[in-house]
């Protein structure tokens, strides 16, 4: 069996350097030529790492947990895909774990204890409830294993990555204002979701920034996926004393329900009501009418969160920003304009 010592002898490098390359550590400190030299020799000599032995010797499994309480829809799948790609790039495997949003403490604890029994090096959180987050942190603290967050802004004193909803909504509101809209409302998702809360607050902030009216009829919370709850929230907005001429929806799923319910109500989209979604799902071009939506860099946000998590695991953060401050992605957004937005009838 080929060992690191064999590769060191073949390449003329130290065993420590060979170990750094094959274990994915200190990559920034090694030149590309050195890394290529080690990897080429390892491949030629048929080297295979013994991950089980390494885990026993170091106490590290090179495995990350990805925890979510959500159904795996397209946005979650893209987030997980970005995280998987980044973890794999750094030589880590992953375990996907589901904690139902309404799980009681006993049920959630049973799932979260697997993080310890599986010797996970760290955990990436996608949308757990606050009580479950605290249970997870308590569990991971037993082995001083870090937790990172992706999606909504992470809790205070936490690492992770999130996208700047303010930047996204600014583009969407600008698009509607340029079309002539002045009465714009936000259709939010579930009220106990941090992402939903953040997206709602950011949207209302942008409406105020553009000098547009904001009152109790400018926003309502509904659900991410329950069509009936979304429809009821939509009715609240459309029954307001001054019906909005445009709706900004917290997600494409909410926007798609809006298109259906507006038609049932006898409203023409986009002339009676312009609609913008968030996420630009693969199905957005195939709605009736095709949905204007905000495209966001979901995979890139997940990659940044994993990089922060690995920096904490490996203790190699070179800056304060890498180790202690969540990464906020402010670029990469764009409004994909399709047929669900147009000037309001009053200005045509």
* Token pair in block for residue 334: 């764009």
User: Do 96 and 171 reside in the same domain of the chain?
Assistant: no
Does residue 55 sit within a domain? no
Distance CA 168, CA 24 (A): 35
Residue 327 within a domain? no
- Where in the sequence is the domain holding 258, given as residue range(s)? 165-297+334-347
pLDDT of residue 64: 96
Residues 206 and 287 in one domain: yes
220 and 251 assigned to the same domain? yes
**Are residue 199 and residue 289 in the same domain, yes or no?**
yes
Domain assignment present for 288: yes
Q: Is 186 in the same domain as 289? A: yes
In a domain, 329, yes or no: no
CB 159 within 8 A of CB 148: yes
CATH number at residue 28: 1.10.260
- With respect to residue 174, please indicate whether it lies within any of the assigned structural domains: yes
* 325 located within any domain: no
Q: For position 169, what pLDDT does the model report?
A: 97
Total domains, the chain = 3
**Residues 199 and 293 occupy one common structural domain:** yes
pTM of the model: 0.79
Q: For every one of its 348 residues, what pLDDT tens digit does the chain have, with 9 covering 90 and above? A: 788 889 999 999 998 888 888 876 555 567 878 888 888 898 888 887 655 445 544 556 899 999 998 677 899 999 999 999 999 999 899 999 999 888 999 999 998 998 888 889 999 999 888 899 999 999 998 878 999 999 888 888 899 999 999 999 999 999 999 999 999 999 999 998 888 999 999 999 999 999 999 999 999 999 998 999 999 999 999 999 999 999 999 999 999 999 999 999 999 999 999 999 999 999 999 999 999 999 999 999 999 999 999 999 988 554 434 456 899 999 999 999 999 999 998 543
Do 215 and 98 share a structural domain? no
Domain boundary pick from 49, 68, 85: 49
Tens of pLDDT along 177-200? 999 999 999 999 999 888 899 999
Helix residue spans in the chain (DSSP H): 4-11, 15-22, 32-45, 51-58, 74-89, 105-112, 114-117, 130-141, 165-179, 194-209, 227-238, 252-264, 298-314, 320-324
Within a domain: 305 = yes
Residue 178 and residue 289 share a domain: yes
pLDDT in the model for residue 346: 59
pLDDT at site 49 = 65
Which residues contact residue 100 at a Cβ distance below 8 angstroms, ignoring those fewer than 6 apart? 69, 107
Q: What is the DSSP letter of 285?
A: G
289 close to 262: Cβ distance less than 8 angstroms: no
- The pLDDT of residue 268 is 96
* Domain match, 28 and 110 both: no
Cα 151 to its chain centre, rounded Å, is: 3
Residues 119 and 227 in one domain: no
- Smallest CA-to-CA distance from 346 within 208, 183, 218, 232 is with 183
Shared domain for 86 and 22, answered yes or no, is no
| pLDDT at 33 (0 to 100) | 86
CATH code, 252: 3.40.50.2300
The pLDDT of residue 56 is: 45
Task: Judge if 338 and 225 occupy the same domain.
Answer: yes
């Amino acid at each position: 069996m080929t060992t690191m010592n064999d590769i060191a002898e073949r390449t003329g490098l130290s065993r420590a350097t060979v170990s750094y390359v094959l274990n994915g550590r200190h990559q920034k400190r090694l030149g590309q030529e050195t890394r290529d030299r080690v990897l080429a020799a390892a491949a030629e000599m048929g080297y295979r790492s013994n991950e089980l032995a390494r885990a026993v010797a170091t106490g590290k499994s090179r495995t990350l947990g990805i925890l979510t309480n959500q159904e795996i829809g397209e946005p979650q799948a893209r987030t997980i895909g970005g995280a998987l790609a980044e973890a794999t790039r750094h030589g880590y495997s992953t375990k996907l774990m589901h904690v139902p949003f309404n799980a009681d403490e006993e049920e959630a604890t049973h799932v979260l204890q697997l993080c310890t029994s599986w010797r996970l090096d760290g955990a990436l959180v996608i949308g757990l409830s606050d009580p479950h987050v605290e249970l997870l942190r308590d569990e991971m603290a037993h082995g001083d294993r870090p937790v990172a967050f992706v999606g909504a802004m992470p809790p205070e004193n936490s690492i992770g990555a999130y996208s700047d909803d303010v930047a996204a909504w600014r583009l969407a509101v600008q698009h509607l204002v340029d079309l002539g809209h002045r009465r714009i409302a936000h259709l939010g998702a579930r009220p106990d979701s941090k992402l939903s809360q953040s997206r709602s607050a950011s949207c209302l902030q942008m409406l105020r920034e553009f000098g547009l009216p904001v009152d109790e009829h400018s926003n309502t919370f509904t659900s991410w996926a329950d069509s009936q709850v979304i429809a009821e929230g939509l009715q609240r907005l459309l029954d307001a004393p001054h019906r909005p001429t445009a709706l900004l929806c917290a997600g494409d799923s909410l926007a798609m329900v809006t298109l259906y319910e507006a038609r049932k109500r006898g409203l023409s989209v986009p002339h009676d009501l312009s609609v913008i979604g968030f996420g630009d799902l693969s199905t957005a071009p195939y709605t009736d009418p095709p949905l204007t939506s905000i495209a966001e860099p979901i995979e890139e946000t997940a990659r940044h969160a994993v990089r922060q998590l690995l920096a904490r695991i490996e203790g190699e953060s070179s800056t304060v920003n890498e180790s202690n401050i969540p990464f906020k992605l402010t670029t990469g957004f764009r409004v994909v304009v399709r047929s669900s937005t147009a000037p309001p009838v009053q200005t045509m």
